[in-house]
Each structure stands twice: as structure tokens, then as C-alpha cells.
Amino acid sequence: MRRLALAALLTGLPLAAAPGAPALAQTASGTAAAGKDVVDATELTIEVQDERSLDFRILVPSDLTWVRTQAEENRFDESGTVRDMRQLFVAESDKPGLPTLAVYAAEIPPERAALEIGYGMLFASVWANRVDSVDRLFDEGGAGIMASREVNGQTKRMMINVWRRGLAIVVVRAEIDDAHAAVWIPRLEEMLQKSMVFVNETLGDALEASMERHEMTLPSGKVMPFLMPPGWKPVKPVKAGFAAAMFEDSTYPEGERAVGVFAVPTSVMQETSPEAVDQAVVDTSDLLLRSFKPGLKYQRERVEMPYTAPGFQDVAALNAFFEERLMPDGEGPERDALGFFAALPGSILGLSTTSVQQTGMRGMGARMHEHFVREQLMTAMHAYGKSQQR
């Protein structure tokens, strides 16, 4: 993939000259409605050189002085989910009670891609002391989180917003003293999240184009297509009474990570009660492990009670997630296991994942990527369910 030159130009605001960075002209500011208040705000445009698909416009608070930094941010390299990350700009003010902002951009290796919310969690693991919420989704397909950190005994609230465009991400980080957070956080949500728009159109999604196309023939004879990132090698399943497609993560072998997608005939599951789905999750998880790690013996421990997946209620009569910990019989590492099943029209589809528990930045990156893979499979299941309603 062509490497990005993550330099940037900014128009629309005063720009202070950092060493080696030329100043750009100031333009007039405007106002933007933020909640019930009218906040003085300015629209700025950031152009990312050599990757014009990342150019974007966004409303930001006025009275901030912007400095082009071009500073490397390499603390996340070990995760494997980003590369060539740079801080493009910082913005702050001498006036008390105003937020500080920073803008970043980075490349995404397609074989280790993650969801936007995963990137937000990754950045918060270094930039913040704790995460306060992770459920913020907004326009342009972005996601963000709220976090906090302590500086000289004072709490600062942090908003980390992430947008993906093809094989790159844009990050806008805002920070405000806790004493002013109640006023500024709603304003920042209105300005930073709801106003952000990419300037240029793109032809397709480069990340999606990098993934490999697969199909699974269901017991009904129908076909469900799905995508997998590069680096996931097929695993031949042992004989089973249902359709299965399995893969192992060849880019992170120490994680012993595998995923399977399944289609169970309705003749096998005569009912779709929670108990029947629970047993199907165990059966498919066992099949994945017998195929991926033959001879492995273990005991199951339920970590959380089953819970449903958002968005599946409109296509599935029943759906459930199951999280388990697999304890080895004898020596060996503990494993995490996750199962999901959805009773769709004419088919009962499911997925299962297994991996050795990992810690540190690299382990976090591996979990982020697994979440991304799981999302691709669940998107395919949901699309299949929708197609059967027509």
C-alpha cells in the first residue's frame, strides 16, 4: 500500500508558526448552535497531503490558536493496528475555561484493522487514566469515547473521536478541565461530532476492497457471502452435522486465535429456546477447538449471562451472545471464548471465537482486530437475514 505523507494544511483559523511550519491566513469566524446555547465557532478545513480522501471540515471553538506540529505518535505501534500515526495540529487558548484540541491521522494495516470504537479505547489506554463511556456513535461513520485523566491533582475530561476513511483514520481529541466539563462537553459533541464532514467523495472502501470474499452454503442450499481480512487462513473443520467455515489468525500466532461461522439446520434444533441456543453455542465452540487445536481438553466457565446483539431484533426471532473462559485440564494457558447465535428465517446462524488470553498493547490490538472480524461476520448474518424477509 502507498505510504501516506501525513502532513496537513489548515484553513479557516489563525495558525501560529511552529518551528518549520509556515503561518496561514485567518478567515472570519461564525456561530454554531450547540444545545441551547449559541457558541462562537469557526469552520476549519484540514487537508491531509497525499491522501485527499481524509480532507475534512469541522466546527471548532473560536479563540483557539492552532499550531501545526507534525509530531510522531508511536506509542501505539506495538498494537499492530495503526502505523505512521502523527499529530497534525494542536489548538489551545490563554483564556481560562476553554478546551484544548489535537488532530491526528494514521494508516490502518488491513490485516490488523479495528473498529473506530476500538481505536478510541486504544488511544485512551495511553492518553487517559480511565474510560467513562464508550457508546458514542455519530455522523460520517465515526465513533468516540469519553475518558478522564489526572494532571497535578486536577481532573481533565477527554473526548476522543475517531473516523475511518478507507485504510486511514482521523482522530480529533478534545480536553477540558472538569470544572468546565458540564458546559463544554455538550458543545463539543455538537461541534466536533455532528459537524464533521469529509470534503471529497471516494470510490468504494479501500479496507473492504482489501478483504477476501468467502461464501458458506447453508443447509437450505442458500449461500451466505462474508468478508475476512487478509491473514486469516482457512481451518478444515472436523466432521459435523452442520455447515461450518473456520479461520485462524496467521498474523498473530502467539494468540492462537480462531473464528468460525456456522449454520445449524432447523432439523437439528427443533426449538429455538434459550437452552437450545446455549447448547448450540457449546457444540459449535467445541467443533472450532477440535478443528483448530485437536486434543485440547478444557473446562468451561461462563463469564457473563447471555445478552442480545443490538440491531438483530428486526431479523432474528432470538439472538444471544455468550462469553466463556476455557480452563485447561492440566498445563496450558487459559482461553477466552465467545459464541453468538441468531434464529433467522429458515436458518440458525452462529459464530464462535477462541483465543489465548493476552495482555499489553499487542494483546489489546489483537482483541481489537478480533472484534473487527466478528463485526464483519455479524454484518453478513444480518444482511442475510434481511434478504430472507423480502
If residue 186 lies in a helix (H) or strand (E), which one and from where to where?
Answer: helix 181-188
The per-type count for the chain, helices as H runs and strands as E runs, is: 6, 22
305 vs 338, residue with greater confidence: 338
Residue type, position 157, single letter: R
Half-sphere exposure of 272 (CA within 13 A, CB side): 18
Rounded (5°) CA angle 340-345-348: 30
Q: Is the pLDDT of residue 388 over 90?
A: no
Q: What value does the mean pLDDT take over residues 291-307? A: 85
Q: What's the pTM value of the predicted model, to 2 decimals? A: 0.87
Instruction: Give the integer Cα–Cα distance in Å for 251 and 112.
Output: 8
Q: Is the pLDDT of residue 202 over 50?
A: yes
Task: Name all domains of the chain by residue range, CATH numbers in brackets.
Answer: 8-198 (3.40.1000.10), 211-387 (3.40.1000)
Q: 3-class SS at 233?
A: strand
pLDDT at 149: 94
* Pairing relationship of beta strands 168-177 and 15-16 according to DSSP bridges: unpaired
Find which of 49-58, 172-181, 281-290, 354-363 is predicted with most confidence, using mean pLDDT. 172-181
The per-residue pLDDT for range 218-270, each reduced to its tens digit, is 988 899 999 999 999 999 888 777 889 999 999 888 888 999 999 987 665 55
pLDDT at 191: 86
Closest CA to 263 of 362, 143, 343: 343
Closest CA to 146 of 162, 161, 159: 159
pLDDT at 101: 96
For CA atoms 138, 143, 144, 145, give the dihedral sign: positive
Instruction: Give the integer Cα–Cα distance in Å for 352 and 390.
Output: 28
Q: Is the pLDDT of residue 7 over 70?
A: no
